Amino acid sequence: MLKILLSKSLFPNRDKPAHLILHVTNKCNLRCNTCFVNFDIPIADISLEEIKKVSKSLGKLLWLDLSGGEPFLRKDLPEICSSFKSEVITIPTNGFDSELIYEKTKEILDTTKAELTVSISLDGFKEVHDSIRAKGSFDKAIATLKKLRTIPHLKVKVNTVLCEKNYPTLIQFMKYIKTFNPDFHSIILLRGNPRNKTYKLPSLEKLIGIRKGIFSMWDSYSYGLNPIISRILKNYQKQMYNTSLNIIKKKRQIPSCLAGTQHLVIYANGDVSFCEMLPSMGNLKNKPLKAILNSEPAKRLRKHIAQKKCYCHHNCNILDNYFLNWTKYPKLILGD
């Protein structure tokens, strides 16, 4: 895996992104307070045929993130996965329908050669989690976590979206989650425009204050990999957290963002952008992907990013900015 990443970072194909976030559906069985997806206007999801055209246009990917809505509500999710050539496929889930998620995950493993990770959203202990997502959602997500851990050759992560509401008990919650033996526990800083506008990110001082506890918990994980790769991935998580805090403090791109060349987002309605924090530059129902990427709106958006007129702490973009930039490898290998 690292050999592939290194070759991609040294010799990137500027015409074809390495990382695709594909929102496969706008449907969801929850209405989480921290979510930025607009469910108020019903839309027709992008078709499997349109998705296959995207796959053919992009060729081989390093990362494919399937998002939503709730991705597992898409009936043809296994076919979507098998239509892409990607080293890694990651699927986040709210964990609300354990049996559906379990069966679909097994189907996906049977249809793809990619390294598959399912990331279950758990935002705190029962009272906190249910207040953020829905009553009863905590117990169902925990049941899904337990059930997925029984599937061989599957990586299972937990994602926690950090906000003011769950900040006070985060470290205790991370210790609790560790007892279920996930492959890793990611902490994602609240971003964008959450459905509930009262939800805020903790202050910079608070984020700095809990950093030591978060890093200590991360050090207890092996990532399910050999020690060298495990060290690199844990170093990356720490670099991502520190970089996010630096971006929040200085309000600028750190490091330079590669979204305009290596990152792509496709929404369930067919809209295309270079980043979830930026506007659409075209729609697949009106134009082929190649035409969109070569369009004037795409050129303007690339220029906007390159001139550092935007910044964010989106974890997926920071991933690209480190692993697809060979100058960052010393820190990934050696740490600070």
Residue 1 has pLDDT above 70, yes or no: no
Please tell me the predicted confidence (pLDDT) of residue 171. Answer: 98
Which one, of 136, 181, 128, lies nearest residue 154 by Cα? 181
Residues 6+ apart with CB under 8 A from 226: none
Half-sphere exposure of 165 (CA within 13 A, CB side): 21
Across the range 36-54, mean pLDDT stands at 90
* pLDDT tens profile 163-211: 999 999 999 999 999 999 999 999 999 998 888 999 999 999 999 999 9
Q: Place 300 in a pLDDT band, splitting at 50, 70 and 90.
A: very high
Across the range 102-113, mean pLDDT stands at 97
Q: Place 69 in a pLDDT band, splitting at 50, 70 and 90.
A: very high
Residue 212 has pLDDT above 70, yes or no: yes
Residue 4 has pLDDT above 70, yes or no: no
- Boundaries of every domain in the chain: 2-334
Please tell me the predicted confidence (pLDDT) of residue 218. Answer: 96
Please tell me the predicted confidence (pLDDT) of residue 336. Answer: 75
pTM for this model (two decimals): 0.94
Please tell me the predicted confidence (pLDDT) of residue 16. Answer: 85
Q: Would you call the peptide bond into 124 cis, given omega within 30 degrees of 0 as the criterion? A: no
| Spatial distance between the Cα atoms of 167 and 179, rounded to a whole number of angstroms | 20
Please tell me the predicted confidence (pLDDT) of residue 54. Answer: 98
CB 145 within 8 A of CB 182: yes
2-334 — its CATH code? 3.20.20.70
Across the range 56-67, mean pLDDT stands at 95
Q: Would you call the peptide bond into 42 cis, given omega within 30 degrees of 0 as the criterion? A: no
Residue 5 has pLDDT above 70, yes or no: no
Residue with tokens 């973009």: 317
Buried-exposed string 147-160: b where 16+ CB fall within 10 A, e elsewhere: bbeeeeebbbbbbb
Across the range 226-238, mean pLDDT stands at 88
CB 208 within 8 A of CB 249: no
Please tell me the predicted confidence (pLDDT) of residue 12. Answer: 57
* pLDDT tens profile 121-158: 999 999 999 999 999 999 999 999 999 999 999 999 99
Please tell me the predicted confidence (pLDDT) of residue 132. Answer: 96
Please tell me the predicted confidence (pLDDT) of residue 154. Answer: 96
Please tell me the predicted confidence (pLDDT) of residue 260. Answer: 92
C-alpha distances (whole Å) from 31 to each of 127, 162, 175 are: 16, 17, 27
Phi then psi dihedrals of residue 22, to 5 deg: -115, 115
Strand pairing report for 271-273 and 263-266:
antiparallel
